[in-house]
Amino acid sequence: MSELINRLRWSCQYYGMPITCLSVCARIAARFGWNFGSSPRFLAFKDRTLDRRFNISTVEQVPTSELGVEQSLQKHAIQYQPTSSLDLVVVLDRLSRQVNLREFSFVDFGSGKGRVILMASEFPFKSVMGVEFSAALHEMARKNISSFRNPRQMCCDVIPVCQDAREFQLPDGPIIAFFFNPFDAVIMNCVLNNIEESVQRANREFFCIYHNPVHRRLLDESAFWTEVSGWPIEREQWAIYRAGKDPIPAQHSRPVEVSEVPAAIS
């Protein structure tokens, strides 16, 4: 029940009470075969509501041909689309009860127009960084960071970086990295190798939040990463990993099952 209340709270914060009530109705309607809550039109409507609420522009998808990058890199890219789900803030909220986020930097690999780093800035991170190799998307992210209006913002050190993810130098200290299937397995493998080398060199705490984990086998087959279970999220859409074998401190007497949380409230 506490996870349901938490998700409703975040939904009200991002979409407002009317859209949250509509999302709950959509969940109920789906039980009777009317599944309008997952339709592209309804999801786009919610995305536009979020953009208006925070004075940003992140909705429209951008195909790889319009990213403005050289042809040799286009084949490794995935088209831009914003992260719509509330699962990210639910995960970060849970993490905030298990580790001190003030000691962590947040890094979004493939940050696009900046929606995720702005969502992350609602938490008290030491810094929030977005790595994007498309100059066009990077410029949109800079504009969104400048126009962002949110009285609950807790981290004002929001830094967009226009760079190939393979060349990005991680900031010092503990890190939470986010991936929303930003590139193909070739680039993903290179970035993960860089992360492993950096963690082994600096002996730091490192979490990886992977949305739409198409290439999760790269982490599953590595002895370096340990998947963290018991999160109130859909495992086929989200995966959480930690560098090393040590479990994070338990905050609940039992793991929370996905079925306990209505996925339509997203």
**What CATH number does residue 238 fall under?**
3.40.50.150
Looking at the structure, do residues 17 and 74 belong to the same domain, yes or no?
A: no
Dump pLDDT digits (tens) for 4-28. 888 899 899 888 999 999 989 988 9
Looking at the structure, do residues 27 and 119 belong to the same domain, yes or no?
A: no
Looking at the structure, do residues 177 and 215 belong to the same domain, yes or no?
A: yes
The three-class DSSP label of residue 28 is helix
Does the residue 59 lie in any domain?
Answer: no
Looking at the structure, do residues 89 and 107 belong to the same domain, yes or no?
A: yes
Domain edge (last residue) among 12, 32, 54: 54
**102 DSSP 8-state letter:** G
Looking at the structure, do residues 181 and 206 belong to the same domain, yes or no?
A: yes
Does the residue 266 lie in any domain?
Answer: no
* CA distances, 92 to each of 96, 113, 171, 237 (Å): 6, 20, 19, 16
Looking at the structure, do residues 186 and 250 belong to the same domain, yes or no?
A: yes
> What's residue 66's pLDDT?
57
The ranges of the chain with pLDDT < 70 are 1, 61-82, 84-85, 232, 245-266
> What's residue 259's pLDDT?
35
Domain edge (last residue) among 54, 72, 91: 54
Looking at the structure, do residues 10 and 92 belong to the same domain, yes or no?
A: no
Does the residue 265 lie in any domain?
Answer: no
Does the residue 74 lie in any domain?
Answer: yes
Looking at the structure, do residues 119 and 201 belong to the same domain, yes or no?
A: yes
> What's residue 117's pLDDT?
96
Looking at the structure, do residues 128 and 239 belong to the same domain, yes or no?
A: yes
Does the residue 84 lie in any domain?
Answer: yes
Buried b (16+ CB within 10 A) or exposed e, 136-145: bbbebbeebb
> What's residue 256's pLDDT?
35
Looking at the structure, do residues 205 and 239 belong to the same domain, yes or no?
A: yes
Q: How many domains does the chain have?
A: 2
Looking at the structure, do residues 104 and 178 belong to the same domain, yes or no?
A: yes
Looking at the structure, do residues 143 and 42 belong to the same domain, yes or no?
A: no
Does the residue 27 lie in any domain?
Answer: yes
> What's residue 67's pLDDT?
61
Does the residue 14 lie in any domain?
Answer: yes
> What's residue 244's pLDDT?
73
Which range marks the domain in which residue 208 is found?
Answer: 64-260
Does the residue 98 lie in any domain?
Answer: yes
